[in-house]
Amino acid sequence: MEYELAQLTAQIKPLDPQWTARAQERLDSLTKPPGSLGRLEELAAQYAAIREEIFPPLQIKRVVVFAADHGVVAEKVSAYPQEVTFQMVYNFVRGGAGINVLARHVGARVEVVDIGVNHDFEPDLNLISRKVAYGTRNMAKEPAMTREEALRAVWVGVERAQEALEEGVDVLAAGDMGIGNTTAAAALTAVFTGRPAGAAAGRGTGIDASTYNHKIAVINRALALNKPTADDPLGALAAVGGLEIAGITGLILGAAAARRPLVLDGFIATAGALVAARMAPAVTDYLIAAHRSAEPGHQLMLDHLGLKPLVSLQMRLGEGTGAALGISLLEAGWRIYREMATFEEAGVAGKE
């Protein structure tokens, strides 16, 4: 399967600047001063270049929420117990979570994927069952996953992207659910950015100062024990990552290989982007950073990837909530690009 993953990543090429220029020419012909709609224009040009179409469709939107548990919760790094993961999955499939509300707001479908929840769900639940394991192992005592498990989880994400595109999806967004996953994301941030765990880790679900200091110590213990390196992204993911982070990694790679944008949520989703970008550097051309999370390590991630968040609303829920808002902004830019009159069409004099 590593060979197939290498084949997939080889398909991901940087955006063609000629397509960006063609889109910008269209934007500059619209009834406004050049560049006056700022990042909305950037989004429109990026979308046209990703799709390599002058007027690409943007109708079908999907948020894929990967859910998984983390063995490191045994180290008492979270304010919430592990069973919240499976309880929230039920909330997602019933439509009652924050991501369900915001997805309805932007007209996106939510797909929930059990990639590693420590719970057996009923077979008739509106849930994509792709369980690789019943959660990860405790990374402070052993690798979180085997290399094979990490690879299988990445491939689950690739297949979710491929199936979505077969169904005509125009834009994908990545979301997550997993108690303890900010610990894994912080560990990956330290590995890929080279920054210390204390700079990468935040308060997650709202832990107190004592638990926060303990969380940093746990991350440092996991890094010292497992010795993950950025030069082996799959190995690093297996050592200190999470099954849902691996799924997000695959979703990003699958979307980019098929020339679709991937709208990132916050800290957890961007951890998947760190791994994906190390596997295929050109993948960053296909990413849209929806927002800057309140987690302090998120800015480290964004800086490392060279991404500029669209908004900063002090959000830290996860689930794909920030990404849903990013879809809305992408669609706003696309509608400007598609629907706004040109100077010639409107009979308005252009710049002298």
CA distance 35 to 167: 34
Count CB neighbours of 268 within 10 A: 29
Which residue range is the domain that position 7 belongs to?
2-56+337-346
351 is a domain residue: no
Does one domain contain both 51 and 132?
no
263 is a domain residue: yes
The structural domain count of the chain equals 2
CA distance 295 to 182: 9
Does one domain contain both 48 and 90?
no
Contact present, 183 and 279 (Cβ < 8 Å)? no
Q: Which amino acid is at 138?
A: N
309 is a domain residue: yes
Does one domain contain both 132 and 223?
yes
Per-residue pLDDT of the chain (352 residues; tens, 9 = 90+): 889 999 999 999 999 999 999 999 999 999 999 999 999 999 999 999 999 999 999 999 999 999 999 999 999 998 899 999 999 999 999 999 999 999 999 999 999 999 999 999 999 899 999 999 999 999 999 999 999 999 999 999 999 999 999 999 999 999 999 999 999 999 999 999 999 999 999 887 788 889 999 999 999 999 999 999 999 999 999 999 999 999 999 999 999 999 999 999 999 999 999 999 999 999 999 999 999 999 999 999 999 999 999 999 999 999 999 999 999 999 999 999 999 999 998 888 877 6
Helix (H, G, I), strand (E, B) or coil at 46: helix
Q: Which helix (H) or strand (E) holds 330?
A: helix 321-339
Does one domain contain both 228 and 278?
yes
Identify any residues that bridge with 63 across adjacent strands, giving them in sequence order: 110, 173
**Active-site annotation, residues:** 319
11 is a domain residue: yes
283: which 2 tokens? 């993948």
